[in-house]
Structure 1
């Protein structure tokens, strides 16, 4: 981009506005300082959204302090979003993340922001990969935290994924900023906190330095692999997908069998997701197992009220005939 040029928003009539998702911790505070530095050239504008989850005593004061430091850095607009975190079956961390993202996206729409900047670091990435490994996750989860994720009207960007947490703390020190240190980050009640304070330090001690960097590198490699597999699965899904008059999705058994297992599972998962279901590993194995035509023809129930069954071969029908040979996926809204 030529010197002095501006990055404009989607409407093309004003400098692009980026909002920093600011917690007041060292990562997001350092990100606010770096973004403010680059914004001084006039190429884009930077604001901040401080989300107060109200989960800890004094959270309102933490939010006010973070917002004040953002204003002193020159960020504008700066707003505080106070949210209620519901009790869900997904756990407090997931519930807080959902509420936080809803607040950030609402602020982006109201302010006309094109991107939301998040301060996740290389250490966060390493922790995410270790947690995914411990849970027996697949390629997409092992790819860790994405550098970019789109939402309706904008995108999350994570420019600090190659920086260590120590780097963000140093930025805060040089800039004279006072970060808040979330006590939950050291609370052993949370799996991520145990990974951060116990597991990673243990691995570094026993295996030598560089474990976090190695996990980050694995996530980078797996992200590229997952993107290629997902794109190929989308192509095959578009080719195999049919829909009946009742809203059920049909997938050719022969077409699925021709695919490698990695693509076969992904194609069926795309249909499950389209119907609003959640493709868990065990249930997906049972659903894809219907292709073996051994035992029951289903249905296999998946989270999200999605069922998968196969059309059984009618008595007297010839093998390979068109009378059968499809997986049938029905969502909760499909007519019986």
Structure 2
């Protein structure tokens, strides 16, 4: 019996570790090496049970509809069921092109899962993607929430390959005779992630050695675990309060107090995607650096002020 190539075994083992034991599972597949290797592994691990595939056509490149059709045809021939080719519209969405495409993609994947009753959607992000995410978060000064990177599980979405190198997904495709599609956006210097991938990460590897990729990626779940513990402490401290008594939060450790303020701002209705460290620091100044300053403007048109020793929402 021929020995299974190490790259194929690595991908299959990663998928087997997180694959739900029952119910329909969908694989998100662009046709790139990462998601193609993931799809093949999921089909192998899920033999005898329903495994489907979704490919999203963002409509951002000429011929993207043909690419989606080709991926869908391959999936049907490979035994996936159901197979969904989902066109989405990216133009007119808020945020930059990367954020808009990501939002559209997750909406399409969520819709496909709901429409077919799938309990999980597998995503093909690798260890290298995680390292790039952490590096980008560092560059933005995103703080612990950004440095936590991509979670292995969030709702119905699972990322089995966060401990698998990108090089191994390419090797797995080659070993299985699969021909991946190379997304030109991955090398387009107008995208920050593409610049990190082509320039910044290779420079770091050259300066610090190849372990830097795994070490950056490994940092993410450790920081995520710390975040979870700190968030739990903050949640316990705030309870169900809609206003915050300064005397009750002033003495909290800075990390806990600022998480209390972040949670409170979210509770007031501030969208998390727009709530930055500057907003939280301004709220914190109302607590620990009070000198009569006016209200803090939070995302969503929300005003928060200190009134007689209590943080409250005020009318504009």
> Under a length normalisation based on structure 2, what TM-score does the superposition of the two structures give?
0.89
What is the SS of the residue equivalent to 2:243?
strand
What is the SS of the residue equivalent to 2:305?
strand
CA positional deviation for 1:54: 0.1
The answer as to whether partners of 2:137 and 2:146 remain within 8 angstroms in 1 is: yes
| CA distance, structure 2, for counterparts of residue 7 and residue 310 of structure 1 | 49
Which deviations, in whole Å up to 9, do the C-alpha atoms of 1:5-60 show, x marking residues without a partner? x967xxxxxx41111111111111111000000111x3x42101111000011100
What is the SS of the residue equivalent to 1:263?
helix
Figure out how many residues of one structure are paired with residues of the other and give that number. 295
The answer as to whether partners of 2:20 and 2:120 remain within 8 angstroms in 1 is: no
The answer as to whether partners of 1:147 and 1:161 remain within 8 angstroms in 2 is: yes
Partner of 2:29: 22
Which deviations, in whole Å up to 9, do the C-alpha atoms of 1:80-105 show, x marking residues without a partner? 11000033452000000001111110
Which deviations, in whole Å up to 9, do the C-alpha atoms of 1:151-205 show, x marking residues without a partner? xxxx100000000111111111122111110001001111100000000101111
Runs of 4 or more above 6 Å deviation? none
What is the SS of the residue equivalent to 1:232?
helix
The answer as to whether partners of 1:123 and 1:164 remain within 8 angstroms in 2 is: yes
Uncovered stretches (5+) of structure 1, i.e. residues with no partner: 1-5, 9-14, 243-248, 312-323
Specify which of 259, 262, 282 is matched with residue 266 of structure 1. 259
Q: Trace 1:17-56 onto structure 2 (pairs within 5 A).
A: 17-40=24-47, 42=48, 44-56=49-61
Q: Trace 1:24-103 onto structure 2 (pairs within 5 A).
A: 24-40=31-47, 42=48, 44-103=49-108
Identify, as 1 or 2, the structure richer in helix. Answer: 2
CA positional deviation for 1:297: 4.3
Considering only aligned residues, what root-mean-square deviation do their CA atoms show, in Å? 1.7
| CA distance, structure 2, for counterparts of residue 51 and residue 195 of structure 1 | 24
Uncovered stretches (5+) of structure 2, i.e. residues with no partner: 1-18
Partner of 1:314: none
Partner of 2:210: 209
